Structure 1
Amino acid sequence: MLGAALTIAALAGCGVVVDRQADLREASAESRYPPTGKLIEVQGRTIHAHIEGSGPDLVLLHGASGNTRDFTFSFIDRLKDDYRVIAFDRPGLGWSERASETYGPWNPKGESPMEQAALLQAAADQLGVKRPLVLGHSYGGAVALAWGLARPDDTAGLIVVAGASNPWPGGLGPLYRVIGSSWGGALIAPLITAWAPEDRVDDALAGIFAPDPVPPGYSRHIGAGLTLRRESFRANARQVNTLRPHLVEMSERYPTLQMPVEIVHGTEDTTVPLDIHSEPLSRQIPGANLTRLDGIGHMPHHAAPEAVEAAIDRAARRARLR
């Protein structure tokens, strides 16, 4: 009995040390990377929206592990003279709160793309967004498609950039499975928040951008420490872990989408493969236009921004916004 009690006490002490270090790291990340836009109250949740420019409304939705800083690095500067750009932190990431308070560290459920779209649409309504173009990158592509499915008459067009849109064969990597589980989210996530070395972030970014280089200054700008906060880390893993069955259901409804849809995808994308996602999507949606970018990886809006900007402009013309 005494040995068991000492073991429990030792583990509790380790937990206190880990939590203290995680607290310090989270506070440092939040101090270094404050909100760049508005924090608005939506259905009892805080949503972060970065807004620039003027013209037709263009909503930007980032991918997994990301936040609005992925777009503010350079991409919004290309768009703000022609569009009012509204970049949202998706629920649970950046400075946006999760869509439901019922999800805790022991609950592995994650928000669906439809739940995320509904909350962000309510935020857009508060901002006076009317008949927007909606661009989604990677996981954000699934949320953009959910946006169009939920509001087909009030969505001018969709731009899906390297987007997750269809169910994939096999499973995810072990990290997503572990952190997305109830025990992993509660026990492993704090360890990563507390002790993950910064060079691992650079390695992860290099893998995401490959074969394209990471733009100089991107790692410092993106604020990866925000994603490594315990609650954000859990939310991201759970959203990715639970995405596939939602895509199964959503994909059956893609043929109902009637608005202009532009799809942009790199041929060398190994994170969200072209042949599994965008090529089928281009056949599922009537009139969808697919732009294949030879030799480009998972980040076309950085590696080939002109092509993504051209897709936005085509969608705007097709929707008669220009």
Structure 2
Amino acid sequence: MLLAVDTGTYRTTAGREAVQEWCRRRLADWSTPHTVRTIDTSLGSTVITSVVRPDAQRTVVVVPGELSCGALLTPLIDAMPDATVHVADMPGQPGLSSGVRPRRGRASADYGRWLEDTLTQIGAPRPVLLGIGSGAAAALSATCRSSVGAMVLVRPEGIVPVSRPDGRLLRRRTSAHGTSRAVAALGGQNFRPDDDLVEWRLLVSTHCAGMRADRHISERRLAEWSHAVPLEVVAGSCDPVLDHRRLDDQVWEITGRDTTVLDDCGHLPEHECPRALTAAIERVDRRVRT
């Protein structure tokens, strides 16, 4: 039985089809061997994009978060050549999964249960969980600690208050130039979004509606996860949305660990510096093995 009632991810059926066709086309053009499958979860159908490497040193499950999906994150997957990678498109976000959204005021709990369903069906033994933005909030909301080997949280939502310039990207735009400027403003000084990211954000701003998610993850959740598995929090030094100093203070107070701050990186580390996220994954994985 579905836990959610709101299916308003897309403004129109044609908009949903346009977004999903973009995803299918991008995955079809991707040269890395991969599979795409659909599973049933508490938030409806969920699409998993997987790259299975026989000689992989680890398995990583990626939860992309807001305004993102597996098709958009192919460069991030390619930056993990030593890992088997599964990316789960979050229902209620643009991508190939269901448009079903969590109940109002229940996003954290509903996404936590959704992630537990998803990890069970992926079936990887104790993977490294990489949560990005609202995907990090979903990771912290899950309770399946014995099923996860380690965790990396990238610009996590819900630990400290954030401003919401990302919401401006859901205003309808008519030009790639305006979209490119808006996306570039989220990054570090040297960040220049590539054409695919700009095209995606323009498509999303045209066809997708905004989402009011739960904004707070309890300190208890972060503390419990930090005691259960090796955990690293990552943020950009130039992030205009999330103040890395406030985040570091809060993470230190709760976990006793510093936040990893990426120099000259803004709000989009998964696009600006994917290899830095690979390095974080390798660090927590080494802690699992020692």
SS of 1:136's partner is strand
Counterpart CA distance in 2 for 1:253 and 1:42 is 22
* Structure 2 counterpart of 1:141, one-letter code: A
Q: Residue 251 of structure 1 aligns to which amino acid in structure 2?
A: E
Whether 2:77 is the aligned partner of 1:76: answer yes
Aligned-pair identity in percent equals 21
- Structure 2, gaps ≥5 residues long: 1-10, 28-35
- Look up the match of 2:87: 87
The amino acid across from 2:275 in the alignment is E
Select 1:270's aligned residue among 236, 240, 253. 240
CA distance in 2, matches of 1:203, 1:174: 13
Cα offset, 1:260, TM superposition: 0.5
1:238 maps to 2:206: no
> Against the structure 1 CA distance between its residues 111 and 87, is the aligned structure 2 distance closer, same or farther, given a 3 Å change threshold?
farther
**Against the structure 1 CA distance between its residues 174 and 218, is the aligned structure 2 distance closer, same or farther, given a 3 Å change threshold?**
closer
CA contact (8 A) 2:48 2:86 kept: yes
Q: Distance in 2 between matches of 1:253 and 1:119?
A: 16
Mapped to 1, the partners of 2:86 and 2:152 lie a distance apart of: 14
Distance verdict in 2 for CA 1:141–1:211, change over 3 Å: farther
Contact 1:62 1:90 in 2 (8 A): yes
Larger-gyration structure (1/2): 1
Correspondence 1:307 to 2:276: yes
CA shift at 1:24, angstroms?
4.3
Residue from 186, 197, 207 that aligns with 2:174: 197
Q: 1:228 to 1:42 in 2, by over 3 A?
A: farther
Partner of 1:128: 123
Structure 1 pair 253/317, CA: closer, same or farther in 2 (3 Å)?
A: same
Q: What stretches of structure 1 of length at least 5 have no aligned partner? A: 1-20, 104-108, 177-188
CA shift, 1:127, in A, is: 2.1
Provide the TM-score with structure 2 as the length reference: 0.78
Q: Describe how 1:165-204 pairs up with structure 2 within 5 A.
A: 165-168=158-161, 172=164, 196-199=173-176, 200-204=178-182
Q: Give me the whole-angstrom Cα distance separating, in 1, the residues matched to 2:195 and 2:48.
A: 23
Question: 2:17: which partner in 1?
Answer: 27
Query: How far apart, CA to CA, are the structure 2 residues paired with 1:280 and 1:296?
Result: 20
Specify the SS of the correspondent of 2:72: helix
**How many Å apart are 1:22 and its aligned residue?**
4.7
Q: Any conservation in 2 of the 1:113–1:142 contact (CA below 8 Å)?
A: yes
The number of residue pairs the alignment matches comes to 264
Aligned amino acid, residue 187 of structure 2: F
Answer whether contact 2:183 2:193 (CA < 8 A) is retained. Answer: no
Given the superposition, is the C-alpha separation of residues 112 and 312 from structure 1 closer, same or farther in structure 2, using an over 3 Å criterion?
same
**Shift of the alpha carbon at 1:299?**
1.9
Matched, 1:252 2:247: no
